Structure 1
Amino acid sequence: MTIEPADLSGRPGPVYRALADALSDAIAEGRLAPGARLPPQRDLAFRLDVTVGTVGRAYELLAQRGLVRGEVGRGTYVLGQIRSIELPPSGPTAPGSEGLIDLTANFPAPIPAQARLGELLPTGESAVDVLADLLRYPEVVGAARHRAEAAAWLAHLGLSADPERLILTNGTESGLAAALLALARPGDCILAEALCYGGLRNLAARLGQHLEPVAMDEQGIVPEALAAAARHTGARVLVTSLNLHNPTGLVVPPERREALVAVARAADLLLVEDDVYGPLVPDRPPGFATLAPERTLHLTSLSKFLAPGLRLGFLHGPERLVREVTAAQREISLGYAPLAAELFVRAHRAGVVAEALRQQRLELGERQRLAREILTGFALTGQPTALHVWLGLPEPWTSAEAALALARAGILLTPAERFFIGRGAAPRAVRISLSAAPTRTHLKSALQRIVATLAHAAGLREGSLV
């Protein structure tokens, strides 16, 4: 089928949302069957006389609703048909919480320490000398004083870091891209959790690499499954997250970490430890960088507790791997952003970085408490200082159906399909980013709407879920 301009007429909201709603209806009514390929964005934009960006935003919204899945180089495909489920009538909204509430992105909750960053920027005559030094082409790995400060921060987090084996990157994702480029070739297999960060899937596809899912249980990757996957695929790289795993929120216990390291050594696997959420976990167990430093690249950043816009990440590892990643980073971006690193140095020395982490943990603790109070009775996985929770869905919901129904109710969240690289059906679950709500009032309103929507369609009353 095709979408015509008439399909968008009379629909409320911006054009991209009207287009997403029209395509959602086509999927719900069976006019777009599971497996159907959506029109290329440029072709549909020309037909509807809109920008390619408008079509791209519509497709992204459909993906957030769990209705489609984009495959790099192949297109965007319908995941499945959505049943028509009657929604409960809209109740009163909390003050200041009107309109769409987007709970799809994991970024820091607003905290007072963030406002102090502006005070630390160089001003006046002193700025001239500072900027002259920072606006040249950067050193690929980072200036020595910036790396030394980064090593001091990592030591505060419990990781013994050598500035000579440290690379500053443009955020964790940039470091992950450099690591994949350095450690694997097109056509190689990369091992990862069956539920993994969606950006990893996109990066691997761009690099022509294949992600092989490894089974998980309630403690993370299953060691026996990792050994079998390494043996059957010949893969030499595992990308994993041990702290506040995205999307399940798991913190892998010490015994499981040690078992996975034993498998990695036996199979001669290189470990890429994506620890972007690690700073949020107080008293966390030793990670792969401590347990197996000879084979681990450790990545983290400021993005999840201070400011993602700084685009500053830290990658540390053994000398031989760091050399390879340095060459890859040179190819990707020529290096890091010195201005961001200078602001980090000033913030770290002024105590702003540590204070921001403290404030973020406290704010997330309050948001997690609120989520557990309102979502009582649901299958909920989370941690006291996590940005998100993983919500298991009651019958008869699938994650795609829940995401669509909640989007129509004004709540955007992320269905399991966005993270699932395993075989078979994705889990019946959704990720709720608690930090994405601008205030706790907005979050409370959104969580109450989630309960009302899910319980109504299930024929259950709030509080009666098991």
Structure 2
Amino acid sequence: MWVPQYSGHAQPVYLMIADALEQDIGSGRLNADDRLPTLKELAEALKITPGTVGRAYDEAAKRGLVVGEVGRGTFVLPAKPQATPPVQETGTSNDSAQIDLSIIKPNDANFGTWLRDSITELAHSTDLSRVLDYATDGGHAVHKQAGARWVQRSLPEARWQQIVLTSGAQHGLLVAISSLSKTQDVILCEEHCYPGIISLAHSLDRRLMGVQIDEYGLVPEAFRAACIEHRPALLVCVTTHQNPTNSIMPPERREAIAQIAREYDVFIVDDDIYGFLESQTVHRPISAYAPERSVYLTSLSKSILPALRIGYLYAPPELLSRLSSMVRSSVWMPSPLMAQLASNLINSGMGEQLVKEQQQEAAARQQMAREILGNYQISSQPNSFHIWLVLPEPWSCDEYANLARAHGVTVVSGSQFLSQRTTATRGVRIALMSPSRAELHFALTKLASLLASPEPRLFY
């Protein structure tokens, strides 16, 4: 039964329930057509009156989130297409609109020119007819060769024959988890993890278990204990710029995790989506330490362009047929047209140039965040795309996220990253790359002013 997670009294309870419902739909915890608890069931679970639950459901219905059907119950509605917002002048802030610091993505200031040039080049290419047809299993050879060049930035020994194309990193996670585990298998991940992993595990009917982390990422002793207790099928982990805590796992710990996985026969899904932000000669992927049981995953959506939905899996030969079969079952094939555009960017060297520009932009924004929020506990890296803000007493993460939203800034409550709801957290994730620098400065200043307020419950 769905039960909303909220704390404190930042606003009336029915609004907090409606906000939690909206957050859980957005994160994938609730899907279209899911049936919500009855008024009585949820009232008993939360120890409130059925009338309060009814007001919450009415508020959710006004927002277009749910619909009530007489005799059947209340159900989650499919997401409505977003209307195109009015064009805002670059570099200005609209105090009546939300500034969205909830999504980690590259800054789009320089997208236009190179994207137009790349599409024009592709339109006049002799390769165009080939990429308008079906692709072979795993993708066309030329696209896998380009993918291997991208993966070789992290794994220099990567062979193109061991590349499988996916429709982005989230699809890559689905393919890997589906291929390497079965229904009701235990999957391990960090106790704070990317919400996409949580929604995938639940939708695939896997049992997700969180493993203790510290400032250096996954704790080897905790991983070993989880292997002994749960006998997991696989581990999904982010060792570089962990989402959301921003930790970077040192080499000796990566080696220890790999050895434990080998000892207990656990597959590793090595999600290296942010590896491009660091020197990969220093921070070798965990796959390098256990290549025989690792599936390495990366994509271009964080480093170059969110809409460039091409990802690359690199796996040992004995897993390739399973992975390719799952790609075919789930999407039949990633778009060859998109794969060719990605390949052109990689082969021309433009991909590397765009990565360097993103690193430089991220460094400037991290400096801004440290100047504005430096008096508070934040976890960051010099060129990361986000920060993890640990809230001071008496704030709760849901309370602060709700208040920030009411003041026009969207951040993500730490509760959305909990692999198991039994874990506590006091953090919020703040993405830095989406708005202009002027908008970011404005938003961060707002967030700092909320923290400086003597009482969290400013609008109760």
TM-score (structure 2 length as normaliser): 0.80
Q: Quote the Cα distance in structure 2 between the aligned partners of 1:106 and 1:164.
A: 31
Q: Quote the Cα distance in structure 2 between the aligned partners of 1:34 and 1:257.
A: 45
Residue-by-residue CA offset, 1:87-129 (whole Å, 9 max, x unaligned): xxxxxxx9434321111001111242553022122469845x5
Shift of 1:54: 6.3
1:379 aligned to 377, 381, 384, which one? 377
Aligned letter for 1:173?
A: Q
Distance 1:122 1:419, change over 3 A: same
Q: Secondary structure at the match of 1:179?
A: helix
Q: Secondary structure at the match of 2:312?
A: strand
Q: Quote the Cα distance in structure 2 between the aligned partners of 1:418 and 1:450.
A: 19
1:45 aligned to 45, 51, 67, which one? 67
Q: Secondary structure at the match of 2:152?
A: helix
Residue-by-residue CA offset, 1:370-390 (whole Å, 9 max, x unaligned): 000000110000111111100
What's 1:103 paired with? 101
What's 1:340 paired with? 338
What does residue range 207-222 of structure 1 map to in structure 2 within 5 Å?
207-222=204-219
Distance 1:325 1:199, change over 3 A: same
What's 1:15 paired with? none
Checking the alignment, whether the CA contact within 8 Å between 1:113 and 1:356 is kept in structure 2 is no
Distance 1:230 1:96, change over 3 A: same
Q: Quote the Cα distance in structure 2 between the aligned partners of 1:44 and 1:166.
A: 42
Checking the alignment, whether the CA contact within 8 Å between 2:154 and 2:284 is kept in structure 1 is no
Q: Secondary structure at the match of 1:196?
A: coil
What's 1:306 paired with? 304
Distance 1:22 1:184, change over 3 A: closer
Is 2:415 the partner of 1:441? no
What's 1:135 paired with? 132
What's 1:280 paired with? 277
Shift of 1:135: 1.7
Residue-by-residue CA offset, 1:121-146 (whole Å, 9 max, x unaligned): 2469845x533211212223110011
More moved, 346-355 vs 419-428: 419-428
What's 1:3 paired with? none
Distance 1:260 1:34, change over 3 A: farther
Distance 1:166 1:185, change over 3 A: same
Checking the alignment, whether the CA contact within 8 Å between 1:272 and 1:297 is kept in structure 2 is yes
Checking the alignment, whether the CA contact within 8 Å between 1:114 and 1:356 is kept in structure 2 is no
Q: Quote the Cα distance in structure 2 between the aligned partners of 1:364 and 1:370.
A: 10
Shift of 1:281: 1.5
Aligned letter for 2:389?
A: L
What's 1:318 paired with? 316
Q: Secondary structure at the match of 1:286?
A: coil
Q: Quote the Cα distance in structure 2 between the aligned partners of 1:356 and 1:43.
A: 38
What does residue range 263-278 of structure 1 map to in structure 2 within 5 Å?
263-278=260-275
Shift of 1:451: 0.7
Aligned letter for 1:234?
A: R
What does residue range 57-68 of structure 1 map to in structure 2 within 5 Å?
none
Shift of 1:189: 0.7
1:156 aligned to 149, 153, 166, which one? 153
Distance 1:43 1:264, change over 3 A: closer
Q: Quote the Cα distance in structure 2 between the aligned partners of 1:296 and 1:34.
A: 45
Q: Quote the Cα distance in structure 1 between the aligned partners of 2:20 and 2:157.
A: 54
What's 1:186 paired with? 183
Shift of 1:424: 3.0
2:141 aligned to 136, 140, 144, which one? 144
Q: Quote the Cα distance in structure 2 between the aligned partners of 1:149 and 1:439.
A: 32
Distance 1:191 1:21, change over 3 A: closer
Q: Quote the Cα distance in structure 2 between the aligned partners of 1:56 and 1:426.
A: 34
Checking the alignment, whether the CA contact within 8 Å between 2:155 and 2:285 is kept in structure 1 is no
More moved, 171-180 vs 32-41: 32-41
Q: Quote the Cα distance in structure 2 between the aligned partners of 1:305 and 1:258.
A: 26
Checking the alignment, whether the CA contact within 8 Å between 1:108 and 1:305 is kept in structure 2 is yes
Shift of 1:161: 1.1
Distance 1:183 1:385, change over 3 A: same
Residue-by-residue CA offset, 1:294-314 (whole Å, 9 max, x unaligned): 111000011112101010001
More moved, 115-124 vs 404-413: 115-124
Is 2:21 the partner of 1:23? no
Aligned letter for 2:159?
A: D
Q: Quote the Cα distance in structure 1 between the aligned partners of 2:402 and 2:44.
A: 16
Q: Quote the Cα distance in structure 1 between the aligned partners of 2:290 and 2:374.
A: 40
TM-score (structure 1 length as normaliser): 0.79
What's 2:6 paired with? none
Checking the alignment, whether the CA contact within 8 Å between 1:45 and 1:55 is kept in structure 2 is no
Distance 1:33 1:359, change over 3 A: farther
Aligned letter for 1:45?
A: V
Distance 1:112 1:212, change over 3 A: same
Q: Quote the Cα distance in structure 2 between the aligned partners of 1:199 and 1:51.
A: 19
Q: Secondary structure at the match of 2:128?
A: helix
Distance 1:422 1:22, change over 3 A: closer
Identity of paired residues, percent? 31
Q: Quote the Cα distance in structure 1 between the aligned partners of 2:170 and 2:401.
A: 26
Q: Quote the Cα distance in structure 2 between the aligned partners of 1:35 and 1:457.
A: 32
What does residue range 65-464 of structure 1 map to in structure 2 within 5 Å?
95-98=92-95, 99-112=97-110, 115-122=113-120, 126=124, 130-283=127-280, 284-422=282-420, 424-436=422-434, 438-458=435-455
Q: Quote the Cα distance in structure 2 between the aligned partners of 1:291 and 1:198.
A: 26
Distance 1:56 1:144, change over 3 A: closer
Residue-by-residue CA offset, 1:228-253 (whole Å, 9 max, x unaligned): 11111111200000010000011111
Q: RMSD in angstroms over aligned alpha carbons?
A: 3.0
Residue-by-residue CA offset, 1:303-346 (whole Å, 9 max, x unaligned): 11210101000100101122211111111111211111111122
Gaps of 5+ in 2: 1-13, 23-39, 47-52, 70-74, 83-90
Distance 1:334 1:450, change over 3 A: same
Q: Secondary structure at the match of 2:200?
A: helix
Q: Secondary structure at the match of 1:45?
A: strand
Distance 1:391 1:163, change over 3 A: same
Residue-by-residue CA offset, 1:175-200 (whole Å, 9 max, x unaligned): 11011111111111101110111000
Distance 1:373 1:187, change over 3 A: same
Aligned letter for 1:203?
A: L
Aligned letter for 1:23?
A: A
